[in-house]
Amino acid sequence: MSKILIVDDNDDLRYLLKIMLAEYITVEARNGSEAVMMFKVEKPDLVLMDILMPVMDGIDATKEIIKIDPLAKILAITAYASKAETIIEAGAREVIQKPMRKKTILKKTKKYLDNAV
């Protein structure tokens, strides 16, 4: 079964994503620093990364994860479209706009987990 790392400083959003992704094993991080640590320990198949977070933002965390594994599959989730290009340059594969719909999350997740994208 595939493992997904959910990274967001909003507890409610992490919980909601965990429910949406119930068919997968999910692990969570509250900021970019925790995300990098969890990535090393858990070795997830996919990372859902918020951009604006305390301690370390999603852009820096994405850069660090890509250093660890250049093939890491990271999807950014954000309400700030202006940051989309920056996180793609950092190594994210795609940006999902908040608020997110379950259908979109599942479609994007399956795209990256079922295919060698």
Model confidence at 100, pLDDT cuts 50, 70, 90, reads: confident
pLDDT tens string 11-66: 999 999 999 999 999 999 999 999 999 999 999 999 999 998 889 999 999 999 99
Which two structure tokens, joined as six digits, stand for 96?
A: 């999902």
Instruction: Please give the single-letter amino acid code of residue 35.
Output: A
| Superfamily designation of domain 3-112 | Response regulator (3.40.50.2300)
| Cα–Cα distance for residue pair 65/72, rounded to 1 Å | 7
| Cα–Cα distance for residue pair 15/62, rounded to 1 Å | 21
Task: Say if residues 53 and 30 touch (Cβ distance below 8 Å).
Answer: yes
Residue closest to 61 by CA, chosen among 70, 50, 71 = 50
Which DSSP string corresponds to 96-114? EESSPPHHHHHHHHHHHHH
Number of alpha carbons in the 13 Å side-chain half-sphere of residue 7: 34
Q: Cα-flanking dihedrals φ and ψ of residue 62, to 5°? A: -60, -45
Comparison of pLDDT for 81 and 28, the residue scoring more: 28
Domain boundaries, the chain: 3-112
